[in-house]
Structure 1
C-alpha cells in the first residue's frame, strides 16, 4: 500500500535529489562556468528508490518499512514530478539564468490511507473497516527565489495547493501550504529543510477520524465526531551526497526525516489519542540517479 506517509517519505527523497540544480557553491574556474551553465540548462530526469520507516496509518503509533520510489525531471524548462502516490507538473517554464521561479500547475494524489487494513497492527483500528481509495485532483501555485542566503545557488520556495476528492471516498477539499529551503555545501553535497500543513474539509474528517456508534461497538473505541480544520503540521530535513562525480550527474545517496503533529479535533480522535499518537515520525534513505 502506498499512502500519505509514503508520499512524504518519497517527497523527502526526491526533494533532496533535486538539489543538484543548486549544488555549485564553490566558485568555479572560468572554464567551468560554461560547462556548469550548459549542464544546468539541459533536460534532466532524476529517479530514486529507497526505504521508508513510517506509521501504519495517519495517527498510528505502530511503524513499518515500505519502499519509497519517486522521479522528477525538467524538459524544455517544464518541471514535473511523480512521487509515490502524487503527480504534478509546473506549467510555467523556467528560463536560463532566471532567479525567480513562478510555479503553477495541476496536481493529483491517490489517497490509500486505511484502504488495506492488513497493514494495520492495531485490532481496534482494523475493526473500524477499510476506507475506499480516494482520487484527489487540484492544482497549486508557488514562487521560488534562487540566491538568497548562503550562496548564489541556494533556493527558497513557498507554495499552496488545493485538491478535492472526486471519487466519492470523501469528496472533501484539502489545502496545503508548503515551504522548502535548499542549500549546497559543495559540488557533492546539499542539505535542506521543509515544512507544511494540511487543512481538510468535513468529509475528510468524517471519513478518516470520526467513529459511528456501529464502529464503536465493533472496535471498542468511543464514538467521535471530528470537525473540519487544520489537521496537522510537518517539519523536516534532508541531505544528499554524490557518490559518482557531482550532484548534477550520476548516483547520489539521499536521506531525510519529518516530524508531524496532529492538531485540534484530529489530535483528540480515538484512533490518534487512544489507539495511536498525535506525534508522527518518518525516516527515509535511498539512492537516486540523475540522467
Structure 2
C-alpha cells in the first residue's frame, strides 16, 4: 500500500513556470492499491521559484506557475506549466516495473518575454515555439528498499511551427524514495541534445550586433543538469490532502553553446533554480 504514496506526493512537486517546467520529465508511475489499476486521483499545485531569464542568462527572476496532474483508470497525465504529458502505458497493481510511454505537447517560451541584458535584448525576442513528440521510459521499484525506484526515460520533441524547426532529445536517469511515511525525495540527472535549428535560433549572434558575431555551426549536447526534490505530505494520509515541496536544480550549458557570446560574454554557463510550492491531492 505504501507504494501509493510516491505518485501522490510526486504529483505536487512541480508547480513551476514554463522555464522550470521544461526541465521535468513524464508523469510518475501508477499508484498501487484500491483496484486493478489503482485509485483515481488528481493533484493541483501552485507555487513558483527563481530561475534564469533564459538558458545561459546570468539574470534571475521570480516565475510563478502551476500544475494539474493525475491518474484516471490507470492512465497518467500531467500538465506542468506549458507541458502536457499523457502516459498511455497502463500499469497493473502489484507490478515491480513501471513502463511509461506516450505523447508530449509543449510550448517553449525561451527569450519570449522581457530580457534584462540590453545586448541580448537587441537580438530580438523569439516567438513561442510549439513542440510535439513523445517519450518512453522504464522504472524498477524495490532496488535498495521496498519503497524506492530507479527510472530511465527519453523524451523527443520537435518544433511543429517555424520558430527553430528542430528537435530536442532529453535522456534522464532518476532515483526516488520515501523517508518515513510522508516525505518523498528524488534525484534526477538529464541532458539535452538539440538540432542545428535550435542552436541557430537561441545561440547564434549575427554580425553587427552588440555582441561579437558567432555561429554554432550545428547542434549537439546543449546542456547537462541535476535536480533534487523533497516533498512532505501535511496530512495523515499522504495519498490525499495538502503537501509542500522544494526543488533545487543546477544545469550547465556545454561546448559550442557555452562559447556563444550570449552565454560567455552576456551570461553564465552555470544555471541555478530554486522552486517551492503547495499542492492538494483529491
Q: Normalization by structure 2: what TM-score?
A: 0.89
Equivalent position SS for 2:120: helix
**In the alignment, which residue of structure 1 is the partner of 2:140?**
145
Q: In structure 2, what is the Cα distance between the partners aligned to 1:143 and 1:182?
A: 13
Q: Pick the structure with greater CA Rg.
A: 1
Quick check: which one's helix share is greater? 1
Indicate conservation of the 8 Å contact 1:142/1:159, yes or no: yes
Which SS does the other structure have where 2:154 is aligned?
strand
1:246 corresponds, among 228, 231, 237, to 237
**How far off is 1:38 after superposition?**
2.4
1:221-246 CA-to-partner distances (Å, cap 9, x unmatched) read 00000131100011010001111223
Report whether the alignment pairs 1:73 with 2:70: yes
Deviations 1:31-81 (A, max 9, x none): xxxxx8328921111111112100011110010111131122111111111
2:119 pairs, out of 107, 118, 124, with 124
**Displaced runs of 4 or more, over 6 A:** none
1:268 aligned to 2:259? Answer: yes
- 2:213 aligns to what SS in structure 1? coil
2:139 partner SS: strand
Q: Structure 2: 5+ residue runs without aligned partners?
A: 1-15
User: How far off is 1:279 after superposition?
Assistant: 0.2
Aligned residues: 265
How far apart, CA to CA, are the structure 2 residues paired with 1:6 and 1:107?
13
CA distance in 2, matches of 1:249, 1:53: 28
User: How do residues 56-205 of structure 1 correspond to structure 2 at under 5 angstroms?
Assistant: 56-116=53-113, 118=114, 120-149=115-144, 151-205=145-199
**Structure 1 residue 2: deviation in Å?**
5.0
Structure 1: state its 5+ residue gaps: 22-35
With normalisation by structure 1, the TM-score equals 0.86
- Alpha carbon RMSD of aligned pairs, Å? 2.1
Query: Cα–Cα, structure 1 residues 106 and 90, in superposed 2: closer, same or farther, change >3 Å?
Result: same
Rounded Cα–Cα distance in structure 2 between residues aligned with 1:140 and 1:73: 18
Contact residue 30 and residue 74 of structure 2 kept, 8 A: no
Deviation, 1:7, is 3.3
Give the aligned partner of residue 259 of structure 1: 250
Give the conservation status (yes or no) of the 8 Å contact 1:99–1:147: yes
* Secondary structure class of the residue paired with 2:33: helix
